[in-house]
A and B are shown apart, each in its own frame.
Chain A
Amino acid sequence: MLLLSVFSTILIILAFYVLFTKDLVNIVLAVAVFSITICICYLLMDAPDVAMTEAALGACITTIVMFNLLRSMNIDFVSCETKSKDTNCLLPVDFSINKFKYIASALLSLAILIILIYCGIDMHEYGNAETALHNHLSQYYISKTSSDIGIPSYVAAILGSYRGFDTMGETLVVFIAAASVILILNSEDLDINEVSKYNLYDYELKNYDIIHYLVKRMFPLIVVYGLYIQLCGKVSPGGGFQAGAIVASAVAAISYFSTPEKLLRYAFATSALGVLIYICTGVLTTMLGGEFLNYYALTSSAHLAQTIGILAIEIGVGLTVFSAMVLIYFSFS
């Protein structure tokens, strides 16, 4: 409890830092630390799945995408602190000029905070097991999963089977987001020649032998770890969302030394293929006589059918998330 309070205080301090600091690079670093800290908070509150997703997506991929965006906007990293107003990196909070706007938004925020705290007085105590959330639907999932689905991880059971239709929508959203990023930034952005020409040769990172050596050795390990997370998501924290983000971060690291051209050429197709695998699993169950995404129709053994169904849709989710993250990362480079 004390640990949680300490970490949430750090979160508040970091948010204030983002509110008041001027340098964009420092803000990006503060957001990365924010992600790691909130990840520890999730872990302390018994949510290892959420913590893993936040660590892979929030702390890793968001940070590198932000840095790629800043780099593409010609922002000078090194001299950011010293240069004054004519560079892009200094973005002053205009407290003096726009005093009215500042005071009005501060008052509005304070009013909202007071309303929220006032509503929160009635709230149950942290960790209380007698609330409505813990006694109806959650109780059903916890008591029925081992007999219905037969896999140890309740989160994977709800994600893949009980609420499979919901997850299909989320996967589609990720695919649509990757597609819209490509459409918003013109198609020439994904020109492979331009990516490889631009790819960090001006940064001279590839001249650092230690980093090259480490990345080359770490790459297969990270990919194997991602595959483990993908395939063992049913018995431990993990699953398609986390695995896709982890493998995509490995590809992002290796891209500093060689551009994965074939992967980029087919990434959009594999992203669509993941969604297709998901929908085809649902269509297959309807053709075999069940409802959409009712895995019991697949084989006669109930637990085996659920395991096969969840594995199939998790592979679809992993493929879509991985390809979408790679596409988004290379679109911003």
Chain B
Amino acid sequence: MLFGNFIFAAAAILLVIGLMIILVRDSYFIKMIGLAIFQNSMLLFYIAIAKISNGVPPIDQLKPMVYSSPLPHVLMLTAIVVGFATLAVGFALIKRIYRKYTTINASELEL
């Protein structure tokens, strides 16, 4: 039971570590990576609840079978693409900050 649900616990721990990276690290670059880990933990959780044990991937096999749920897969697939796009916008902002202040550390910025 505990061993079987470990993937849910892993998603929770990853979420907390991502939050921790955002709060503790000084560099904006690493803060963005923390945000990415935070997001990935959510994706992992959604894919984990879609799985049925001894199910197969959701592609029609032309005979009655147990399929894992395709709906979270669709939502998370688009979330990965949009997540990358927003990450790229964040990196662009970091590059602008570096160009103006020649640092990307929060403590060294005097705004």
**Which A residues contact B (CB, under 8 angstroms)?**
1, 4-5, 8-9, 11-12, 15-16, 18-19, 24, 27, 31, 34, 38, 41-42, 45-50, 53-54, 57-58, 61-62, 65-66, 69-70, 72-73, 88, 91-94, 101-102, 105-106, 108-110, 112-113, 116-117, 120, 123, 125-129, 131, 133-134, 137-138, 141-142, 145-146, 152-155, 158-159, 163, 166-167, 170, 173-174, 177-178, 180-181, 184-185, 235-237, 241, 245, 321, 324, 328, 331-332
Contact = CB atoms under 8 A, between A and B. Distances in A.
A11 B16 CA distance: 13
Nearest to B82: A173
16 contacts: A15-B18, A15-B21, A19-B17, A34-B37, A46-B52, A47-B68, A58-B84, A65-B88, A88-B104, A145-B60, A146-B60, A152-B60, A158-B71, A174-B81, A177-B86, A331-B92
A210 B16 CA distance: 44
B26 to A, nearest CB: 6
B10 A8 contact: yes
Interface in B23-62: 23-27, 29-30, 33-34, 36-37, 40, 43-44, 47-60
A48 B70 CA distance: 11
Contacts of B77: 49-50, 53, 155, 159, 241
Interface of B: 1, 3-10, 12-21, 23-27, 29-30, 33-34, 36-37, 40, 43-44, 47-60, 66-74, 76-78, 80-82, 84-89, 91-96, 98, 103-105, 107
Given A15-B17, A15-B18, A62-B84, 8 more contacts: A19-B17, A31-B33, A53-B80, A54-B80, A57-B84, A129-B55, A184-B89, A328-B85
Closest 4 CB pairs of A and B: A127-B53, A177-B85, A105-B23, A8-B10
A112 B19 contact: yes
B7 A4 contact: yes
Given A12-B10, A16-B17, A236-B59, A34 B40 contact: yes
A117 B12 contact: yes
A174 B5 CA distance: 35
Contacts, number: 271
Nearest to A244: B81
B48 A184 contact: no
Given A58-B80, A155-B73, A184 B51 contact: no
Contacts of A58: 40, 80, 84
A72 B48 contact: no
B8 A18 contact: no
A112 to B, nearest CB: 6
B23 A1 contact: no
Contact of A94 (B8, B20, B107): B107
Contact of B50 (A5, A11, A53, A133): A133
B48 A126 contact: yes
Given A8-B6, A129-B66, A15 B37 contact: yes
